[in-house]
Structure 1
């Protein structure tokens, strides 16, 4: 029987090019689904968020810069025929699939013209050090008959994975009812709208794998609606699509008509007494591509035709938002903001996220002064991509604010912090701190990082340089679009979630 020979270097080149490509190019079916959601959205805040996502998608593709500052963990799915041979004549031994994926990931994430954010850490139980090249990749290998060599490359952001849900249901339990019960607990940190993957059956770890793989299927819910379901899997997809959108969570959790663009379901046989079910969402920074190698060289990726963004503006139009200076902001002015208001904020703001917050808390516990004065300041939860060319900062969208909630009483109550900017809902401990301080929480659109970065005019490193993208910076921003998500009275725009303490 003949054997298909594929060069290891072609595999590495293809994966590296794919990771670069998906960093700035959404799949076409995802763009089209976003456009449909935007066209039918009836709620103004959600419609504005959808427009920002579409503008960001267009700008990122044109500039070839990341759609989101969380450029994701590299996932590589190999589907390899048993009659395929990997050739590496210049190496002492043929590299493993993990080695090839790691080499490609390091090359892609350190590419000088479009350097991507390194988010992977090693020693997770200890020092939690950044690996600096986003390795290792997550690798799955499926061996099949024949000469197949198919690869799926995805960059999966943390916002979607952190919202994963799993349960072992009884065989008679309703999968749909359980999924619907979980959606309001997931919050908005996964940056809806996106697709949701459902994995059913197999063993516990297989169910989660199925859910993650399911979101890599094409968006085709409109076709399913048009022809009606033909089997139980399609019936479950359609039921969940309708019921989830009826919850009214909407884009970015702001309340709206579209929360999911599609529901994908994959299943496997399982033990008769078991019904494992997993949920895993794909966020508004949907990034994946599939390709096949035939031994004739690396894969080629054609840019998305710009016509797919027809009728989408090049830049953010005048939203009519109220212009606000954050320099010297007072509690009296903040008190005039109401939840749901659209603002265009300018001025000097600080940045900090998980690691910086932990270090500040440890400093305060030792009764030592912080490296920055938070009195009357605004803090943006962000870990930007490194700048390239003439950029002052790379794509710089918000991270999920909830992770910082436990620090809010101290930073607002004792250190004088007044305003925070991030994405998604806040838990009661944070909302109580905001109300007690007479401050506010502002949200900016998650998944629109390149668009947000356009409002940042300067970036100055202030503290914790060793934390890399988690260091404390001072940004000067001009007309950054935000929505008042929690106002000084404690009123929030996030009314569709079951909030819990951080």
Structure 2
């Protein structure tokens, strides 16, 4: 009988969560490096360069790849010849590991988990509880996979109870437009087929733990129907031309993973969950000899890609921003922002709405300003701010007209805007700018000053004033309503279909 000590499990979970916060899986880095070499879209290539540069910076500095450090998923395969030396529930012990990791003073991670989700939505402050799944199997060891799943990609999960004759490839392609770029491509698609509604979604998430091997699979050729389906979906999704960050290009997905299970004759449940550019997962084994510690990757194995600001990028002084300058920007333009900007996301926008409805005076003047949709990680070791990448902009769509009425000239976030928000942006003759998701530490290096100026009690959702220097963004929606997330994928899809460019391999 193998005896697993409670403290060894806690320490191992905590170590793994810290590890994945700043180390990408090397299979992802290698695949992304290949995608960078092959990419022909300038905007997409620039975005991939930012992600790769950010990844290496995080590996060197031991700081989070993304400010959204995720909801923790833990998959346990418990060998039945193992005994846990404790009187507590396994959930409580695993959550102690999560708590220890997320409150590590040397690399504090963002607490994003809210209790009472339908009503008060109170932050638990330590990112617990985790989502725990346990399978009892023969053996005398414990195999554990941990993953930290960001909200931007998790929110794009899809499910359908298909009829047996329905085509899975067609369904996946129907979902891609509605997923937009909020899941921060290029990443992976995990697909579960069969079982029941909840089981196929679990299969989809489990499949994302598998290593990226699409290049090797294509080289040797498929040997099963599942492998054929993986390749078919991979090629079809990349042919859409969505590209990195939705900017149009060759690589939308780096791999497609599929797990299946038997299901009822009357149906064919299918679930799909994307993994983003901040894909985070790791595996370890406990055998009773002590905690498991993961070996760091070799920095020499990273692609030699270093992002530098585009020499053609327009430099913008936010402290002297005018409607005329904003109106001169064109969709796809790359900008380098310097000066002072405000921040605000879901909770702050809701608070502003409620204050306006109540006739209360706002604590911040938004006239002539830019706002950045962000919830940063707490700073450590003398940092001005922790990793501070953008959050998904569509969640602020319903507040857009309200905020533009207050005089905003520009909004900065991640991925596309909804059509209603694009219409409002065009009507007010302002702009929406896109920062690269999955490059949070790189972005934070552009932030030279940060202070909370309103709603401090909201924690990471408070309104800050950032002072930035050469913060890189792309004009996603210009003052005339031209939308790069609509126009660029359409053009790249046409190029791929016409054979003007080689599709992703």
- Taking structure 1 as the reference length, the TM-score comes to 0.96
Pick closer, same or farther for the CA change 1:319–1:260 going to 2, 3 Å.
farther
Task: Write the mapping of 1:285-364 to structure 2, written as runs, cut at 5 A.
Answer: 285-313=278-306, 316-364=308-356
CA deviations over 1:196-222 (Å, ceiling 9, x no partner): 000000000001111111111100001
Identify the residue that residue 85 of structure 2 maps to in structure 1: 87
The whole-number CA distance in structure 2 between the counterparts of 1:108 and 1:463 is 29
The whole-number CA distance in structure 2 between the counterparts of 1:404 and 1:310 is 36
List structure 1 segments (4+ residues) > 2 angstroms apart after TM superposition.
315-320
1:401 and 2:379 are equivalent in the alignment: no
Task: Write the mapping of 1:116-135 to structure 2, written as runs, cut at 5 A.
Answer: 116-135=109-128
1:13 and 2:11 are equivalent in the alignment: yes
Q: Could you say what the CA RMSD is over the residues aligned between the two structures, in angstroms?
A: 1.1
Task: Write the mapping of 1:52-451 to structure 2, written as runs, cut at 5 A.
Answer: 52-88=50-86, 93=87, 95-313=88-306, 316-412=308-404, 414-451=405-442
Q: How much has 1:255 moved relative to structure 2? A: 0.3
CA deviations over 1:405-436 (Å, ceiling 9, x no partner): 00011110x21111000011111221122112
SS in 2 for 1:105: helix
Q: How much has 1:328 moved relative to structure 2? A: 2.7
CA contact (8 A) 1:409 1:429 kept: no
CA contact (8 A) 1:240 1:263 kept: yes
CA deviations over 1:463-495 (Å, ceiling 9, x no partner): 101100000000000000000000000101011
CA deviations over 1:124-153 (Å, ceiling 9, x no partner): 122111010000011000111121310001
The whole-number CA distance in structure 2 between the counterparts of 1:376 and 1:213 is 47
**What stretches of structure 2 of length at least 5 have no aligned partner?**
491-505
Q: How much has 1:316 moved relative to structure 2? A: 3.0
CA contact (8 A) 1:207 1:278 kept: yes
- Taking structure 2 as the reference length, the TM-score comes to 0.95
Task: Write the mapping of 1:23-34 to structure 2, written as runs, cut at 5 A.
Answer: 23-34=21-32
The whole-number CA distance in structure 2 between the counterparts of 1:368 and 1:45 is 43
Q: How much has 1:175 moved relative to structure 2? A: 0.7
CA contact (8 A) 1:55 1:316 kept: no
Q: How much has 1:348 moved relative to structure 2? A: 0.4
Identify the residue that residue 452 of structure 2 maps to in structure 1: 461
Moved more, 431-440 or 261-270: 431-440
Identify the residue that residue 45 of structure 1 maps to in structure 2: 43
The whole-number CA distance in structure 2 between the counterparts of 1:237 and 1:44 is 28
**What stretches of structure 1 of length at least 5 have no aligned partner?**
none
CA contact (8 A) 2:51 2:277 kept: yes
CA contact (8 A) 2:30 2:303 kept: no
Identify the residue that residue 493 of structure 1 maps to in structure 2: 484
Q: How much has 1:181 moved relative to structure 2? A: 1.0
The whole-number CA distance in structure 2 between the counterparts of 1:436 and 1:408 is 11
